[in-house]
Structure 1
Amino acid sequence: METPMQHHQSKLFINNMMESAIRIGLLFILVVWTFDIIKPFVIPVLWGAIIAVALMPMTQKLERALKGRRGLAATILALAGIILLIAPFWMVSSSLFDGVSHAVEVLQSGDVDIPGPTQKVADIPLIGDKLFEVWALFANNLEKAMLHFLPQIKAGVSAAAGMLGSSLGSLVMFIVSLAIAGGFMAHAEKCSAAVSTVAVRVVGSHGEEWTSLTAATIRSVLLGVVGVAFIQSLLIGSALFTFSIPAAGLFTIIVFILGIAQLPPLIVVLPLIFYVFSTHDSTPATIFTVWVIVAGLSDSFLKPMLMGRGVDVPMPVILIGAIGGMITAGIIGLFLGAVILAIWYELFMTWLNTEESSTPLPQASNDEPVDSPEK
């Protein structure tokens, strides 16, 4: 039979359990509401932090040139980044708008003259015959070709409109992120101290070390991914402009985006090679082919040179983290994935070193003589 003391303890346990459950439930509701409130700002703030970390060395150099005015240096870099974002987008958008307007005017006037394909097109392996047939259909009977390919044309126009809308949204997001990055860079010491304090509080003595590792990893990924993509787009773009390829600027931007997304630029380059062979002589077409293929494969030796610089983490760990993070979380995953894998690598190495240091030394057996120190 339950004694009064046991009954009191049981009742007290139930009351404490109910009170704890209510507190945890209220805390969970508060956390969910807080996340819903800050959710629209999570990605811009993350990008702002990444951009601030990446541009901090440049900010410090500009600060010294401006005699210690950190706020002005951060503002100049943020505005320069915004201009560099808006200018290409404006140029591409204007070019697309002018091209679409001209196409609509030509179609309305009915004065459409598409040159027919040459025999070089039909000689292209695998796709030559089909490409020759489709091209000849558009050249000889445009109305019939438009009706035949109307579903594909509608799908392409819808995809292009969706891509344009998504690009506009991304542009606005990056402009906000650059403004946030400017604030982070202007108050870098306070932000760094706050992050280090939180990191030490959460993970202990290694927190400050891992904070520095995070910053170095972000700069490494920026140099090894975005830097390589920029170099590739510059090399391929110079070839496109040299050989007067139509919409060379647009193709250059696409190559840059593919490079950031860790996709081979040959996706864009190979169709252009077929186009150059069908419209140019063999010698310039061969030069163009060698030029763009070498530029497209240049990441195979540029990434090992640039990826992982300044970080005591093997380059394959950074690269796997960047690619896996991008597949999981998009472009921002390039940085988050690399940072997470770098921290896990450091955790693993710390654990290994701890295990080695805690391994007891072998003891001498009783049968072996023990040398006593000389007095």
Structure 2
Amino acid sequence: MDKQIEKHQSSVFINNMVESSIRIGLLFVLLIWTYDIIKPFVIPVLWGAIIAVALMPLTIKLGNVLNGKRGLAATLLALIGVVLLVTPFVMVSGSIYDGVTHLTEVLQQGDVKIPGPTQRVADLPLIGGQLYEVWALFASNMESAVARYSEEIKGAVAAAAGFLGSSLATMVMFVISLFIAAGFMAHAESMSKAVQTVSVRVVGKHGEEWANLTAATVRSVLLGVVGVAFIQSVLVGAAFFVFGIPAAALLTFIVFVFGIAQLPATLVVLPVILYVFSVQDTTPATIFSVWVILAGLSDNFLKPLLMGRGVSIPMPVILFGAIGGMISAGIIGLFLGAVILAIWYELFTTWLKLDRDKTSESTEGELEQKSAVGK
């Protein structure tokens, strides 16, 4: 009898295990298919959510000015964002394309005349001698220089074309993200309730708190990373335009991109300083150098001031999350990395509080027992 019961229970267990495995396998396949379907929309939707969180306070203010028309306010902000995004891109891309095309034609014709380098160029430390030699070759014998450095020239042209192509795809993605953000902002209340409901369902009673933390962290990173990069690029770019540096707009844009990527602006500034010292007098070149170096180092004191505002998370946690996320996942990792580390920090502090609460509760219980025994 016992053997029959054991056999029956074993058969039931095996049937349940097989049935559960089949269900889990089918669910796993369904998840994979679902991810393949929505994969092209994941990045634009994430960016749309980030933009919506960042612009939500401005949308509310603009909606109040427009008599509570939240949808109109969100649409106007999205259109303004598209204009601000497309206009500089068209200007910079057109300038790069025209410059590369004209340079290619001139080099092919061999009619260009380049002034020769001065002794100042040769006196520059480390790279002066080699730079003087290359410059002198292009100035004296263009055809020979083009033939000698033809592979490098072709590589530069190909890199410029690839940059334009990838930039165009990125711009289109951001335009789509702006309109997705407009939809999120127009239905902010219902979207917020849905996010909070899902958060509470997934992580429990701290879900709503962490949802608010996510929004605050995104705003903090936007202000502390993108905002600082914008301020830094304006300061450096002002020096480029004041001193008449060639391709000042393009160099300013590169400084802005480097700032977002958490790369030092000095990588762009130092070659320009060498160029200025080679073509201008010592006094203006020194003034330019001091200006751009201070502007390039401005992020060191701007980030502590701006990053971490509005959240209880320490600034280093957000900064490390932004930098690590940027390295692992690109630009969007700036926000995802900061959010993930912020949530982990909250989890850690919550765990410490729980342990402390248990210790205090046990201490209070012991004191109550001692007082009861004393009575």
Q: Which residue of 2 aligns with 1:310?
A: 310
* 2:366 is the alignment partner of 1:361: no
How much does 1:127 deviate? 0.8
Q: Distance between the aligned counterparts of 1:132 and 1:181, measured in 2?
A: 52
Q: Which residue of 2 aligns with 1:137?
A: 137
Q: Which residue of 2 aligns with 1:7?
A: 7
How large is the Cα RMSD of the aligned pairs? 1.8
Q: Which residue of 2 aligns with 1:286?
A: 286
TM-score by length of 2: 0.96
Larger CA deviation: 299-308 vs 88-97: 88-97
Q: Which residue of 1 aligns with 2:339?
A: 339
Q: Distance between the aligned counterparts of 1:109 and 1:166, measured in 2?
A: 30
How much does 1:107 deviate? 3.2
Q: Which residue of 1 aligns with 2:63?
A: 63
Equivalent AA in structure 2 for residue 217 of structure 1: T
Give the conservation status (yes or no) of the 8 Å contact 2:237–2:252: yes
Larger CA deviation: 95-104 vs 198-207: 95-104
Q: Distance between the aligned counterparts of 1:365 and 1:249, measured in 2?
A: 73
Q: Distance between the aligned counterparts of 1:123 and 1:168, measured in 2?
A: 41
Q: Which residue of 1 aligns with 2:32?
A: 32
Larger CA deviation: 331-340 vs 95-104: 95-104
How much does 1:104 deviate? 3.5
Residue segments in structure 2 that go unaligned for 5+ positions in a row: none
Residues 289/11 of structure 1: CA separation in 2 closer, same or farther (3 Å cut): same
* 2:243 is the alignment partner of 1:243: yes
Give the fraction of aligned pairs with identical amino acids, expressed as a percent.
Answer: 69
Residues 165/365 of structure 1: CA separation in 2 closer, same or farther (3 Å cut): closer
Q: Deviations over 1:29-80 (max 9, x none)?
A: 1000000000010000000000000000110110011110000000000011
Pairs within 5 Å for 1:153-164: 153-164=153-164
Q: Distance between the aligned counterparts of 2:132 and 2:298, measured in 1?
A: 32
Q: Distance between the aligned counterparts of 2:312 and 2:227, measured in 1?
A: 20
Residues 21/365 of structure 1: CA separation in 2 closer, same or farther (3 Å cut): closer
Q: Distance between the aligned counterparts of 1:369 and 1:313, measured in 2?
A: 43
How much does 1:81 deviate? 0.6
How much does 1:106 deviate? 2.6
Pairs within 5 Å for 1:1-375: 3-359=3-359, 360-361=362-363, 363=366
Q: Deviations over 1:275-313 (max 9, x none)?
A: 101111111101100000000000000000000000001
Q: Distance between the aligned counterparts of 1:351 and 1:99, measured in 2?
A: 59
Q: Secondary structure at the match of 2:112?
A: coil
Residues 261/308 of structure 1: CA separation in 2 closer, same or farther (3 Å cut): same
How much does 1:105 deviate? 3.7
Equivalent AA in structure 2 for residue 169 of structure 1: A
Q: Distance between the aligned counterparts of 2:369 and 2:282, measured in 1?
A: 86
Give the conservation status (yes or no) of the 8 Å contact 2:107–2:142: no
Q: Distance between the aligned counterparts of 1:66 and 1:307, measured in 2?
A: 31
Equivalent AA in structure 1 for residue 363 of structure 2: L
Higher helix share: 2
Q: Deviations over 1:240-279 (max 9, x none)?
A: 0001111000000000000000000111100000110111
How much does 1:5 deviate? 2.4
Equivalent AA in structure 1 for residue 48 of structure 2: G
Q: Distance between the aligned counterparts of 1:158 and 1:93, measured in 2?
A: 14
Q: Distance between the aligned counterparts of 2:328 and 2:371, measured in 1?
A: 60
Q: Distance between the aligned counterparts of 2:370 and 2:208, measured in 1?
A: 49
Residue segments in structure 1 that go unaligned for 5+ positions in a row: none
Q: Distance between the aligned counterparts of 1:343 and 1:279, measured in 2?
A: 52
Q: Secondary structure at the match of 1:361?
A: helix
Residues 33/365 of structure 1: CA separation in 2 closer, same or farther (3 Å cut): closer
Q: Secondary structure at the match of 1:3?
A: helix
Residues 174/229 of structure 1: CA separation in 2 closer, same or farther (3 Å cut): same
Q: Distance between the aligned counterparts of 2:45 and 2:296, measured in 1?
A: 33
Q: Distance between the aligned counterparts of 1:324 and 1:119, measured in 2?
A: 44
Residues 211/368 of structure 1: CA separation in 2 closer, same or farther (3 Å cut): closer
Q: Distance between the aligned counterparts of 1:9 and 1:364, measured in 2?
A: 51
Q: Distance between the aligned counterparts of 1:24 and 1:315, measured in 2?
A: 42
